[in-house]
Amino acid sequence: MNCWNFFKPAALTASLLGLLSTTFLAADELLVDPALRSALVTALEEPHQFEDEFDAQVWLLSRRNALQRFIEEPDRAIPLLQTIHRHASQAGLAPDLVLALIEVESGFNRFAVSRAGAQGLMQVMSFWKNELGREIDNLTEIETNLRYGCAILAYYLNMENGNVRPALARYNGSYGQQWYPDRVYQAWANWR
């Protein structure tokens, strides 16, 4: 299923369009796709504002109740939804897809850390901070994590010509397998 119509390609910059393929050579030797690196640099420099505040608010109100399954404090839910919507939209992603990915990756726990060392809501690998010369970035900080994660997902989506399933598998590092995209799709259906 090609879901490119859920995304806003115009929001992607030229550098966000080439996308990543990270290959591990050995436990301590890593090659990083320069196009993905460039996409992350661009995403970290973009402004922090909605393009259409009214659409964001309509979306926000319709998702608030669903988020309460994960975040009990209403005063935390609304700002989180606003932030997710903003970063997803800036990256040209469907905000509901990002919500689904976060649900699967971290269960909305901004302090989640995987066995592989991925951190935060979108489970971003910490090597990116060093690769970008941004060692002081805190991947458990919501804004930072979403900027990295959305840029990476947008990169993979572009790499896969808008095909969401293989893009999700690349994001998770399970390319060629369907278990992860299936989980995200199931969650995505609940957010739409």
User: Residue 42 belongs to a domain with what CATH number?
Assistant: 1.10.530
Where in the sequence is the domain holding 96, given as residue range(s)?
A: 38-191
Task: With respect to residue 181, please indicate whether it lies within any of the assigned structural domains.
Answer: yes
**53 counts as catalytic:** no
Task: With respect to residue 32, please indicate whether it lies within any of the assigned structural domains.
Answer: no
pLDDT tens-place string over residues 140-192: 999 999 999 999 999 999 999 999 999 999 999 989 899 999 999 999 999 88
Considering 105, 131, 141, 160, which one is annotated as catalytic? 105
- Please count the structural domains in the chain: 1
Task: With respect to residue 142, please indicate whether it lies within any of the assigned structural domains.
Answer: yes
DSSP sequence for 54-95: HHHHHHHHHHHHHHTTT---HHHHHHHHHHHHHHHHHTT--H
What pTM value is reported for the model?
Answer: 0.74
pLDDT tens-place string over residues 9-25: 433 333 333 333 333 33
Task: With respect to residue 133, please indicate whether it lies within any of the assigned structural domains.
Answer: yes
pLDDT tens-place string over residues 90-139: 999 999 999 999 999 999 999 999 999 999 999 999 998 888 888 999 99
Task: With respect to residue 15, please indicate whether it lies within any of the assigned structural domains.
Answer: no
Task: With respect to residue 8, please indicate whether it lies within any of the assigned structural domains.
Answer: no
